[in-house]
Every structure is written in structure tokens, then in C-alpha cells.
Structure 1
Amino acid sequence: MAAAAPHVMVLPFPAQGHVTPLMELSHRLVERGFQVTFVCTGLTHGLLLNALRRTGDGGSGDTVEGIRLVPVPDGMADGDDRRDLCKFLDAVWRRVPGFLEDLIRETEASGAAKVKWLVADVNMWFCFQVAKNLGVRVAGVWPAAAACLGTSFAIPKMIQDGFIDEKGIPKRQGTYEVAPKMPPIYASHMPWSLDGPPDEEQAVFELMSGYAHSPILAEITVCNSFLDAETTAFELFPDIVPIGPLFADQELRKPVGQFWPEDASCLEWLDARARSSVVYVAFGSLTTFNPRQFQELAEGLELTGRPFLWVVRPDFTSGGLSKAWFDEFQSRVAGNGMIVSWCPQQQVLAHPSVACFVSHCGWNSTTEGVRNGVPILCWPYFADQFANRSYICDIWMTGLAVAAGEDGVVTKEEVRSKLEQVIGDEGIGERARVLRDAARSSIVEGGSSYENFKKFIDLLME
């Protein structure tokens, strides 16, 4: 009788940008015969279930494509504001390890296969020890750039060198270089910088300071990146193993649980557009614009005269945007511009009509742009997005960045000018294609990510 497939528990940090790559990884594990239990905190679990049911993808009840979806509480009370990052992080940090321990014990008491491995987001490092105490082996998954994780390992050195204090607050202006050919750290945009109050930044700094536990507590830390994209980072931090870029579209066509309903009609709209003509604009799941910045972006897109596909989430702009103005704008650009609330981004970026990607430079968006060879106009918002901008503009040279005026606003003229430069620069286009080919060859048989992934699977099979 064949041995039961090893049982793996997958634990993402509860946010869209973390759920997506860990769902992509889970599909790969199921393909190779693993039993996968995907564990999310309550609200995220609900969004994920709704997303998968909405698209009619797979299975019944709490199972999709062979992945069992299981919730644990996030530690917050019913009426608590989950947008209060300090409270949310504090609750997850203090309470989720205990809930995870209960879940592992209950799973085994129920007669299900013993959980052999916890494959967990490095952002959940505070859960690693609990698993180990129960005899469950731990693998870390870093869903962003290796440089960003490596930078967090350098926090003690940054303190020692007097660049930041013990709370992560810059002590001097300028930049800090971990190594040449790695994105520098800007005092004005620290990796833990948020568009919020100082106590939230402090909470994120403490979370990031703990990333150093991953190489100590986890037997392996795999990363959603590839060797040619971050050669220096992987040389400098050999404990981080590239297995990316992960994806679930194209040949796999597996659901990754997008929290917002996707408007697939934009794919037909793209079909009717000329090759390399469309500007695709999307700022991920968290970025917000004030009404003035929103208006400048809108009018900048209009000024280019190019067809554009723009993702505008319902919560993308803070109150104050005139509905009359926006209705008039939409009627002016009808036929040339399409506005959707969310879209199947991986398929959009793979579409031949897309010429350029205006992006917040989140890592998932960055790698999706990279592996489709799409030049990027960078418009970072917070956290690691500034480091990703450095990769795109300064190291890979596959895009440009917008520049804000003295008042912090990116004008419509700047939007038009930079878009024309990015799309018209043959060198940028050529470098984007070279990086695309490197990304694709890394994941086919014999490629570096392919071979690393094979070793990862062998380890999980032990």
C-alpha cells in the first residue's frame, strides 16, 4: 500500500499580497502529492472562501483544488478595527501562535494525517517555535524580494553604524548601502515606513527585526524571486533560496483567491487593442490617493491619448472626489480608456496589447511585470516598494519612476511625460525582454529556481 502523502500546513500573513504567492505555492505542493491545509486568520479566510466560491473554482465546502482551507481567529474582538495596524499586529503576534498550536493538536487528534511541516510566511516567524515544540518541521517562505529580507538581517548593523536608532528611526539623512547592486535604504523611505502614525511604523519595525529568526528556526527559507533578478542578494544571503517567480495562471490556471471580484471583460477589451498600445494602471490592494492626486493621474492618462486600462478599487481614493467630475472624465475617455474595480492581473500583463505597467511596485506586481517583459512606470507607496523601484529603475533598468513636485503631487504633465519616455525607450524594452527570458528560463527544467524547488520538495518529502 502506498504511503500517505505528507501533510503540510501553509500559513500566510493575513493580507492579499501574502495569500497570493502562498496559494500559488500550495497548488505546486498539491501537484506533487502533498496534503495541504491552508490556514488563514478569520476575516482573510472568509475573503478567500468567498473569492474561490465566486469564481466557481474547485471543490466543495472548505476544499479548493485539493487545498483544505481552515480558519484560526486573529485574536481581535468582533467590534475591533482591523485597519488599526498596531492593534491588529499585536493581536496576531500574541494570540495566533496559541491558536495554531490548538489547530495542530486538534488536526492530529481527529485522526487526520500528522502535520509534518509548517510552510509559513516569514512574516509569521513568531509561530515557528510553536510548531517546532510539537515536532512539526518548519520551512519559511519569503513572498517578496530577497534584498528586502536581507536588509532586515542588516538592522543590527544599521544601528551599530548610526544610520538608525533602536526603534528604527533614521539618525541621519541620505541612504544606507547594504551592498553594491542591492537597493539602497533611503532615510526618507525606510522599509518599515507606512502612510500612518509612528506607533504603526514601530510595530512593523519590530516585526521586521524578528525576520532574523527565520534562518535560525526554519530548516529552509525559500523566496519568490529568481537568481538573475537578485544575484548580489543571493550571494550575500545564501540562506535565502530562490524558487520563483511563482504564478498560477497560464498553463496552471489555478485560483489564487483574489479578494475583490475580477472583471474579466477587460481581456476582451484588450483583444480589440493594437499590440503594445495599452497603458495598464494598477496600485495593488492597499494604496490610496487623495482626490487631487487621483485627478492628476486621470488627466495625465487622458493627455497621452493612448488606450489605458485602469484599476480603481472602491476604496482607492479618500472622500472628496467629485462624482460629477469623475463621471464627466469617464464619458470623455469612453472608448479609449477602461476603468475596472479589479482585474485578472496576471492575464492582463501577459496580453500582447499591453505596452507599459504603471505600478505601486509591490513585489507580486513587480514579478508579474518582469516575467511578461512589460516596462514599468514606478509609483511606490510604502514599505518595500521603494526598494523594488530601485531594482526596476537603477539595477535592472526596465522602467522609470514618477517624480512628485514640491507639494508631493505627481502632475498630469509628469504622468504623460514619463509614460511617453518609458514606452518610447527601446533600451528599456529590450532589457525588460532579457529579464523576462531569464525569469522564464529559471523555472523550466534545469533552471536555477526549478532545481531549488526540486530540492525543497525532496526536503518536505523526508
Structure 2
Amino acid sequence: MSNKEEKVVQPHALMFPYPLQGHVIPFVNLAIKLASKGFKITFVNTHSIHHHITKSTTTTHQASDIFAKSGLDVRYVTVSDGFPLGFDRSLNHDQFFEGIMHDFPALVDELVGNLVRDDPTVNSLIVDTFYVWPSMIADKYRLVNISFFTEPALVLSLYYHVELLRKHGHFACVENRTDAIDYIPGVKSIFPADLMSYLQAKDDIYTTIHQIIYKAFEDVRKADFIICNTIQELEQDTISALQEKQPFFSIGPVFPPGFAKGNISTSLWPESDCSQWVRTKPPGSVLYVSFGSYAHTSKRDIEEIAHGLMLSGVDFIWVLRPDIVSSDEPDFLPDGFEDRIRGRGLIVPWCNQIQVLTDGSVGGFLTHCGWNSILESLYCGVPLICYPLLTDQFTNRKLAVDDLKIGFNLRDDNMKLSRNRVSEKIKYLMHADESGAVRKQVKKVKSLLENAMGIDGSSEVNLNQFITDLKAKIGEHDKN
């Protein structure tokens, strides 16, 4: 090789997902995608997340590597989050995230130092945007700093411009303004009720989560690249505005290879097999109900939804985590509910969501509006009833219902949930004649996702451009 020839750079990325299932899933899928394009990957889960994943998939000796069957160059490492395995992270939410903000960075620093010392080929860091430490670690070990945002670009932009919201009186004021927000670059208009739940707060704006948000979205400005689990065609204006700030690449939806055929478990709970039950039902007749892996709701709302499901007469699968109300309140369904819905309703603590959504018997999804759930439902052509509970879910609902028009709200204007309204919305969605316009729109958006993921699609082109630019950046680091 002549002196003028550039040596071929192989990216070797350390990947750190946030320790929540909704973040781990796209990180695992991205690791597979990048490894299939020639990356070396060292994937780092917390001991706790690894424990829950392996516990949910086997009752014998816990597997040491969730990527063992992938056949790709993905090395798997775990790190302590600073808490014992038996610590209830959901019940002790604030204490856990205090540790993630203040104590976890030192544990990461020690781990990365050891990894870089043992393998000098490590040259880049792909870290969840909600961590507060990426730039510090990247600078210390001379790694290219890549921020992976697992939610929509709209959510990123709102957090990114939190100081604008503060300046204009829509956030962090005694009496926050309630008129439309029309000054965020690339965002035409959004109402305060559609902001992420943490940005709807008035007095309580110095919680642990708020401090994490402030620090993380200050730190992301130092990233060399931002990659985002969204689709250019869905958020064009918002993405263009972000690209004026930093190198930003929309590479979503980040799904497993073959979509429904992933062989790497990311579930924190054992999955019930719903396939036999759902296959006995007519096409499009089943409503799938799930409120995700993390958010909680009230016992009253669960009871109203349960009664609404009974009144609707619709067949359904309902994923009900044991801690959906609280870790210490497991009894939340109306008395006799399971007996009354026997045969037309299936209640499970957890299941393979993609497997259910891809079944032709499923014709609707009552969802908490997690971004993974919205993307998966869209890809399967299933319209939504939206019931946001926490954080980005309110903003995702705005995207789904108001902008993309692929679903309906379960409730409007923060009104109390009632069983009659739940029943009415379910019946409206599940009768094709009445919900025909939404179903037609879902098909249009589904085709946008499919096209974006194609060989010449926007997300594939953006991913390849990101890889090219990353290799150039790694080359610059090597010269310095």
C-alpha cells in the first residue's frame, strides 16, 4: 500500500442503551444492523437488564451472551448500574435515576478504560441520548461520540430547545402559557398539552428526571453525530432544522432482520404464546391492548378500560404487566372480569408484540404510544387507539393522531376515562366501515416505512452516509 493510500477504517463501537426495555430493543436491532455492515460492536447492558432478559428466556443456567446466536461480530459485556439485582428499580424510581445520573458514570468510565486498554481497536461510542456522560467519556478515551435517539425527531427537537420554551413562558413558569408553541425550529405548531410530560410540569421542574434531561440535552450538542430511530418522510421539516445544528441522520425504523424473525431476546419478562388463540379468530377482529414495558396507570383507569372492553363485545388480547398500577398493588381488575370475558378475551402478563401484530386477526391496537409500538403497528398496517401515560408518549400521540392521522384518541382534553367512551372508541376503530379513512392512511404510512427501509430508501441511504462520515471522522482521530 502506497503512502498516499488511506488505510481502511473498521468502526469498532461501544454501545450503551438506556436501562429500559423500550431503549434496549432499538439498540440491539441497531447493533445487528451495524455488525452486518462490517462494524465490530461491543454491546454493554447493565447487570440488571441482562438478568431480567436471561431470566425471562431460561430457567436453567443464565446465558452469558444474548448475541451468541447472531453469527455477527458483536461482543457482549455487562456493567453494574450501582444497585443490587434485587433492588426494585420501578418502585424506587427516583433513587434509581439519581444513581444513573451521579454514580453510573464512574462505573462506565472504569469499564470503558478497561475495554480500550484491552482492545485498542475501539474507536467510537454509540450512547443513548438520555445519558449525561457521553462527551466526557468520548473525550477522555478519544472516541467518536455518536448519540442514538430512540424516539421521534420531534421529541428530540423539543428537548433540544427547552431553553426556548422557558424563555417564551411555556415551561418552568408559575403559570405556563397554554397557547400554541410556534417558534421551535422545524416544528410548525404544537400545544403545551402535547409536550412530553416532563415539559408540562409547572413547579416540580428540578426532579431527578428533569436534571437528567437538562444535562443530557446539553451534552448531546457535543456529539459528533446524532442518529435517530425515525423516518425522514414522516418528520422532514423537523429533521431539516436539526441538521442545521449538527450532523443528524434518520435511520429508522430500526427493526430486527426479517422483522418478525429476530433470534435475540430483548424481553424483560417471560412471553406468553398468543398465536394459537389469535389464529382461531376472524381476520381483523382482534383488538390488541398493551401499555408497554415501563409506564404505570391508575387502578381506576384499568377498571374503566376493562368494563369498556366488556361493553364493546370485541375480541381482544390484553397485555397486563403485574406492576401496571404499582409493584405493590397486583389486584386491579374488576371482580369476575376474567370469567366474564372467557373465550373472547385473553389476558397475559407479557407477549411477543411483533408476533401478535403481524397476525392477520389483529385489526387494532390500544396503545400507550411508545415509539417502538407505533412503528411496529404502522409496519403491520394496524391502526391505533392512543392512551399516552408518560414522557414522550403525549408527543408521539400528537404525531400519530394529529399529523399522521393513523389513529384516534381514547380521551380528549384530559377528560376522565369512562367505560362508555372506551367501548365507543373500540367499536368505532374495529368496524372497518367507520374507520376506513384511518385504515387507508395507515396503508399509506406503512408504504413510506417500507420504502425508507429499501435498498435505495431514505433510511438506508442515510445509514450508509453516516457510516461513511463516521469512518472519515475515525480517520481524523487516528491522525491526531
* TM-score, L = length of structure 2: 0.85
Kept in 1: contact 2:365–2:382 (CA 8 A): yes
Q: Distance in 1 between matches of 2:158 and 2:106?
A: 29
Q: Distance in 1 between matches of 2:445 and 2:308?
A: 28
Question: The residue matched to 1:365 in structure 2 has which SS?
Answer: helix
Tell whether 2:227 aligns with 1:222. Answer: yes
In the TM superposition, residue 140 of structure 1 has moved relative to its aligned partner by: 0.7
What is aligned with 2:159?
A: 152
Match of 2:242 among 220, 228, 237: 237
Tell whether 2:162 aligns with 1:118. Answer: no
In the TM superposition, residue 51 of structure 1 has moved relative to its aligned partner by: 4.2
In the TM superposition, residue 169 of structure 1 has moved relative to its aligned partner by: 6.5
In the TM superposition, residue 204 of structure 1 has moved relative to its aligned partner by: 2.1
Match of 1:162 among 169, 177, 181: 169
What is aligned with 1:205?
A: 210
In the TM superposition, residue 61 of structure 1 has moved relative to its aligned partner by: 4.8
In the TM superposition, residue 63 of structure 1 has moved relative to its aligned partner by: 4.8
In the TM superposition, residue 365 of structure 1 has moved relative to its aligned partner by: 0.8
Alignment RMSD (CA, Å): 3.1
Question: The residue matched to 2:446 in structure 1 has which SS?
Answer: helix
Deviations 1:141-165 (A, max 9, x none): 0000100000012111112212223
Tell whether 2:267 aligns with 1:258. Answer: yes
Q: Distance in 1 between matches of 2:154 and 2:227?
A: 13
Q: Distance in 2 between matches of 1:152 and 1:200?
A: 14
In the TM superposition, residue 356 of structure 1 has moved relative to its aligned partner by: 0.7
Deviations 1:298-353 (A, max 9, x none): 12112121111110111123438467x44x22122111111111111112112211
What is aligned with 2:79?
A: 72
In the TM superposition, residue 222 of structure 1 has moved relative to its aligned partner by: 0.5
Deviations 1:214-251 (A, max 9, x none): 55322110000101221221122114321000111635
Match of 2:365 among 341, 357, 370: 357
In the TM superposition, residue 90 of structure 1 has moved relative to its aligned partner by: 2.4
Tell whether 2:301 aligns with 1:296. Answer: no
What is aligned with 1:343?
A: 351
Q: Distance in 2 between matches of 1:3 and 1:405?
A: 56
Deviates more, 1:151-160 or 1:243-252: 243-252
What is aligned with 1:129?
A: 136
Deviations 1:110-148 (A, max 9, x none): 3x3531111111111423321222111111100001000
Deviates more, 1:44-53 or 1:152-161: 44-53
Tell whether 2:35 aligns with 1:25. Answer: no
Deviates more, 1:355-364 or 1:177-186: 177-186
Deviations 1:36-60 (A, max 9, x none): 2211233223223434657999x86
Kept in 2: contact 1:193–1:382 (CA 8 A): no
Question: The residue matched to 1:147 in structure 2 has which SS?
Answer: helix
Question: The residue matched to 2:456 in structure 1 has which SS?
Answer: coil
Kept in 2: contact 1:249–1:346 (CA 8 A): no
What is aligned with 2:284?
A: 276
Kept in 2: contact 1:139–1:220 (CA 8 A): yes
Q: Distance in 1 between matches of 2:174 and 2:82?
A: 29
Are the structure 2 counterparts of residues 397 and 404 from structure 1 closer, same or farther at C-alpha, using a change threshold of 3 Å? closer
Q: Distance in 1 between matches of 2:413 and 2:419?
A: 11
What is aligned with 1:368?
A: 376
Tell whether 2:190 aligns with 1:184. Answer: yes
Tell whether 2:21 aligns with 1:16. Answer: yes
Q: Distance in 1 between matches of 2:66 and 2:159?
A: 36
Kept in 1: contact 2:388–2:397 (CA 8 A): yes
Kept in 2: contact 1:403–1:410 (CA 8 A): yes
In the TM superposition, residue 99 of structure 1 has moved relative to its aligned partner by: 1.8
Q: Distance in 2 between matches of 1:12 and 1:320?
A: 29
In the TM superposition, residue 12 of structure 1 has moved relative to its aligned partner by: 0.9
Deviations 1:399-421 (A, max 9, x none): 11012698x53111101111222
Tell whether 2:453 aligns with 1:431. Answer: no
In the TM superposition, residue 70 of structure 1 has moved relative to its aligned partner by: 1.7
Tell whether 2:100 aligns with 1:95. Answer: no
Are the structure 2 counterparts of residues 403 and 322 from structure 1 closer, same or farther at C-alpha, using a change threshold of 3 Å? closer
Kept in 1: contact 2:16–2:44 (CA 8 A): yes
Kept in 2: contact 1:172–1:187 (CA 8 A): no
Kept in 2: contact 1:14–1:44 (CA 8 A): yes
Q: Distance in 2 between matches of 1:223 and 1:283?
A: 23
Q: Distance in 2 between matches of 1:350 and 1:447?
A: 23
Kept in 1: contact 2:286–2:314 (CA 8 A): yes
Q: Distance in 1 between matches of 2:266 and 2:85?
A: 24
| Unpaired stretches in structure 1, ≥5 consecutive residues | none
Tell whether 2:447 aligns with 1:453. Answer: no
Question: The residue matched to 1:8 in structure 2 has which SS?
Answer: strand
What is aligned with 2:454?
A: 444
Are the structure 2 counterparts of residues 340 and 405 from structure 1 closer, same or farther at C-alpha, using a change threshold of 3 Å? same
